[in-house]
Structure 1
Amino acid sequence: MTRGAAGPTLVLVLAVGVLVATGVTLLLERSLTRILLGIILLGNGVNLLILLGGRSGAAPLAGTALAGGMSDALPQAMVLTAVVITFGLTAFLLAVAYRAWFTSGDDEVQDDLEDRQIVRLAGRDEVAAADLGGEGPDDDREQVDPEPARRRLRRDEES
């Protein structure tokens, strides 16, 4: 951004659009390497977008300029935090891609059996399993036991 400008320049807005669009396109690929590059580009595009939201001006140091002429420090702090988070995510995805390459010799993400079943059922326009409801808490296998330890203790005390 230029000093004293009313808003972001067109070049920076286009750069944000290109980075985000390229990042999303790469995220939709099956290769972990391309997914990793998509995360990096998307993160950089969002960081630039956050920076464009701040006010430009002098350095935000007390006593160096008038309060209205200083730049906004909050977007800079948010971008610094986002850079660290993106770096951690990048390191994790890099480790996953390396592990996939080391074990199988390929970094392509395979379809799950569940994914294939969902696609097959969607092609036939069916629902996987109907949940009719009306079951009690002990009869419904889909219910999560909210307090298994307390129930276990009660059973042990009664015996």
Structure 2
Amino acid sequence: MELILAIGIGVLVGSGVWLLLRPRTYQVIVGLSLISYGVNLFIFSMGRLRVNASPVLPSGAPVDPTQYTDPIPQALVLTAIVIGFATTALFLVVLLASRGLTGSDHVDGREPN
């Protein structure tokens, strides 16, 4: 399970970096989104990978911390998803405004010769 998660994180971040280095602004935005998804998976994996384990402790029962997952990374990832969505929406609005003002969607604002 850990190997699959590590490969998934590597593919997302690697693809994001490759797209980040492209000359078009839309590809840069998609690359930033892929990197943020990879970082979200990394943060999520810090809470230990456990299948069928509850993140909430029951009241009145003896507590064995090895039987539960850490809920803090889950809350951080949920917050990061919401912030990432808002940031991507802002980037797209800036992309459309830049495209309307310059007439090009290149990062530097002009077509290559």
TM-score range, shorter chain: 0.7 to 0.9
Partner of 1:62: 57
Partner of 1:96: 94
Superposed CA RMSD? 1.9
Ranges in structure 2 where 5+ consecutive residues have no aligned partner: none
* Cα distance in 1 between the residues matched to 2:88 and 2:25: 11
Give 1:42 deviation, angstroms: 0.3
Ranges in structure 1 where 5+ consecutive residues have no aligned partner: 1-7, 112-159
Higher helix share: 2
Per-residue deviation, residues 83-142 of structure 1 (Å, max 9, x unmatched): 12211211111011111222233211227xxxxxxxxxxxxxxxxxxxxxxxxxxxxxxx
Q: Which of these two proteins has the greater Rg computed from alpha carbons?
A: 1
Higher relative contact order (CA 8 A, sep 6+): 2
Partner of 1:75: 73
Partner of 2:46: 53
How many residue pairs match? The answer is 104
* Cα distance in 2 between the residues matched to 1:44 and 1:107: 24
State, as a whole percentage, how many aligned pairs show the same letter.
38
2:108 pairs, out of 107, 110, 114, with 110
Per-residue deviation, residues 16-69 of structure 1 (Å, max 9, x unmatched): 001001111111222110011001100000101111121234122221874320
8 A Cα contact 2:57 2:68, kept in partner? no
Give 1:10 deviation, angstroms: 1.1
8 A Cα contact 1:56 1:72, kept in partner? no
Report SS of the residue matched to 2:77. Answer: helix
Deviation beyond 6 Å, 4+ runs, structure 1: none
Amino acid corresponding to residue 41 of structure 2 in structure 1? L
